[in-house]
Structure 1
């Protein structure tokens, strides 16, 4: 009898355990519905801090948390470790690499992936930073470059080993450049006694004429000045055309010898969206209506980086606050459909922008409020710690940040893979 009752509950299938998927599941978990959450990883990842894993500031388990642990007290939430390959909207069936599952309501929160804009050589030889594995790979590589450079006698090759290029002037690029600088000039400089750190070169390359384009001009200028003080060479209005793993070519003919190019210049919707029979817009995102539904499929919601949602003249940005607000709105509208109530249109409430450039250095813009320096860094730190999914993660990250702040140390400098 109990199984029959459970079977009659509306079945909500959520694809993706990122900010949008986890938030939707949490918002619906206390309702009389059955929830299946599907992801190819068994953890929720706090992507905004991936760059700190890449620069030896945090460990992988500091910014990731098991999905099953999040929902251990919600008996109506089931997790499937699987990768979705297709959705049949007619039969309401999701196909995974481990089987199929039917749904009454579907929430696609598949997130985004690195967009190389068709540059095959960069995709092959550069480093993306959208997954834990990619961040660990960057960390291992950077540490290995110093080990190789420490005993390299050829001056040209040594300088190439010590040249680190970050492509993309958004928050990820700026934060990565600042963190890499602090790793090198606060930590590594104390341990490589025979190395000439004047040979180290950190470059931040941006194709447009602005870093942090959504920030006010005053804060953009402060960002550039701060990076320069941190020994970062800022190159704007510069386009990368090719990278073969040892030489990066720029539009205009300049060639920069380097073994390290980190690509932070673009994001697009997950490849899953390409397999669905949906209209797509910029960055391959699925076009949704004002309720975040597919226009012809009211039982299907698409949120977060996978959704092309217009507000005003521009689509909403591919950032965590958008996904989280869309998750709340989607959960409410699923409840409204089940209860026969009117749906509510989604309206995004702007949360502002912020980016850290390193120790005591950040920029924050919220409405008319804008600030920089230590106060902005404190705000950035507080917000990011608060958004971590679990108390343990918050406590560990706070302690590591304080340790780094007090003693200029990065504790996660282990090369784990050769």
Structure 2
């Protein structure tokens, strides 16, 4: 304990903390650089987060959107993977402390450890609401929703009415609410003929006056209308005052019954980051210079959702994380070659969100705006291509085909172990 469990060789050692979009991009970019790369993550797999809502609603298997990090590291001769959580960073000694108690030395450090849900101090939110930011959390939501439906359909004592409250009108909240509404509209009449579908409600709460705030007004209105057509009860311009075990109290005083409350609004850095001695800003995000090096530390980079430039933060989306991870790796190459670093310039490739079967909104640079089936087909194709392996792509395609093409006949969803 406390010894260096990974002896450093003659080549510089780069430690990448976090195997999300940013971390994976950094490792790929370092594959032909004369360094040794150690990838650290608390999970043994990478999770494709944009499709976690499909896991939470029984559309795809958890394994469809996860990929072994040891298999990933094996692609690159200069890379190794270790399952570990970083508990401390000693920038003076250039070492990171792992949850095992071991210290590992580095020459360059890339922090891309992601973020967690921000409950904004709202009473009961952290204790009673659920998130879908991890595979484990998405599985928990799926099993809770489906078990609640089963309990209500059988008339079991103590069963809470099948109402799901989604807090947050961003892409995650909209996609989750749309998928739940389709599950209610299409699956319930076949799977639960004894249950009146009108009893199963989906409520989306957003404190702003619109959903999908980053999109232009026309697409926001389109998304809101599409959700209402699917039967989603939109509560716009109202905040959450308290989250209880069986209801959500709104700022206007209404107490909305809730069997499951899903928290999809706001993120912040993990609490452990504050102990690393790095400068932090709003939401606990690590402050970085224009070249993505942490303020005051020339050998430490921070990218992705956990980082924010001192002159303005990038959107907390996949593309800024991917581009940031690549940029950090390229700057390490430049430093090793004796060249000065370059500032990071984010290239906006657009944003998209799906609302449900055959319906999505896409906003691309150059005033390109898409909606409906064309946007949905583009969203679906891009997300399947972005998965890590052909096995993931084929499995996801098969399960989504079942969901979108056969639900009216089979109402088949992927089940797990009931809580």
Q: Give the TM bin, normalised by the shorter chain.
A: over 0.9
**2:50 — aligned with what?**
48
Report the Cα offset of residue 120 of structure 1: 4.3
What pairs with 1:181-192 in structure 2 (closer than 5 Å)?
181-192=181-192
CA contact (8 A) 1:247 1:258 kept: yes
**2:341 — aligned with what?**
343
CA distance in 2, matches of 1:271, 1:232: 34
CA distance in 2, matches of 1:289, 1:71: 29
CA contact (8 A) 2:89 2:276 kept: yes
**1:323 — aligned with what?**
321
Report the Cα offset of residue 412 of structure 1: 4.2
CA distance in 2, matches of 1:410, 1:135: 20
Is 1:103 matched up with 2:106?
Answer: yes
**1:385 — aligned with what?**
384
Is 1:144 matched up with 2:143?
Answer: no
CA distance in 2, matches of 1:27, 1:354: 26
Query: Which segment drifts farther, 120-129 or 171-180?
Result: 120-129
Alignment partner for residue 119 of structure 1, among 122, 126, 150?
Answer: 122
Is 1:80 matched up with 2:82?
Answer: yes
CA contact (8 A) 1:161 1:260 kept: no
1:3-61 Cα shifts (integer Å, max 9, x gaps): xx981101000100111111101110222110101111000111111111000001111
Per the alignment, do residues 415 and 394 of structure 1 end up closer, same or farther by CA in structure 2, a change over 3 Å counting?
Answer: closer
**1:68 — aligned with what?**
70
Report the Cα offset of residue 239 of structure 1: 0.7
CA distance in 2, matches of 1:208, 1:28: 42
CA distance in 1, matches of 2:78, 2:200: 54
What pairs with 1:208-287 in structure 2 (closer than 5 Å)?
208-287=208-287
CA distance in 2, matches of 1:199, 1:111: 37
Per the alignment, do residues 410 and 108 of structure 1 end up closer, same or farther by CA in structure 2, a change over 3 Å counting?
Answer: farther
Query: Which segment drifts farther, 298-307 or 115-124?
Result: 115-124
CA distance in 2, matches of 1:135, 1:85: 25
Report the Cα offset of residue 396 of structure 1: 1.3
Per the alignment, do residues 146 and 48 of structure 1 end up closer, same or farther by CA in structure 2, a change over 3 Å counting?
Answer: same
What pairs with 1:392-411 in structure 2 (closer than 5 Å)?
392-408=391-407, 411=412
CA distance in 2, matches of 1:374, 1:252: 37
Is 1:357 matched up with 2:355?
Answer: yes
CA distance in 2, matches of 1:269, 1:112: 5
Report the Cα offset of residue 63 of structure 1: 0.7
1:280-318 Cα shifts (integer Å, max 9, x gaps): 11111011000000121111000001101256xx42111
CA distance in 1, matches of 2:48, 2:188: 27
CA distance in 1, matches of 2:43, 2:411: 27
Query: SS of the residue aligned with 1:14?
Result: strand
Q: TM-score, normalised by structure 2?
A: 0.94
Per the alignment, do residues 41 and 238 of structure 1 end up closer, same or farther by CA in structure 2, a change over 3 Å counting?
Answer: same
Query: SS of the residue aligned with 1:287?
Result: strand
Per the alignment, do residues 410 and 395 of structure 1 end up closer, same or farther by CA in structure 2, a change over 3 Å counting?
Answer: farther
Report the Cα offset of residue 410 of structure 1: 6.1
CA distance in 2, matches of 1:279, 1:299: 15
**2:196 — aligned with what?**
196
**1:38 — aligned with what?**
40
CA distance in 1, matches of 2:63, 2:111: 26
What stretches of structure 2 of length at least 5 have no aligned partner? 1-6
CA distance in 2, matches of 1:36, 1:153: 51
Report the Cα offset of residue 390 of structure 1: 1.3
Is 1:169 matched up with 2:169?
Answer: yes
1:349-391 Cα shifts (integer Å, max 9, x gaps): 0111110001010000002100100000011111111111111
**1:308 — aligned with what?**
308
Query: SS of the residue aligned with 2:341?
Result: coil
Q: CA RMSD in A?
A: 1.6
CA distance in 1, matches of 2:404, 2:265: 29
Report the Cα offset of residue 97 of structure 1: 1.2
Structure 1 segments of 4 or more deviating over 4 A?
Answer: 409-412
Report the Cα offset of residue 89 of structure 1: 0.3
What pairs with 1:369-380 in structure 2 (closer than 5 Å)?
369-380=368-379
CA distance in 2, matches of 1:410, 1:83: 40
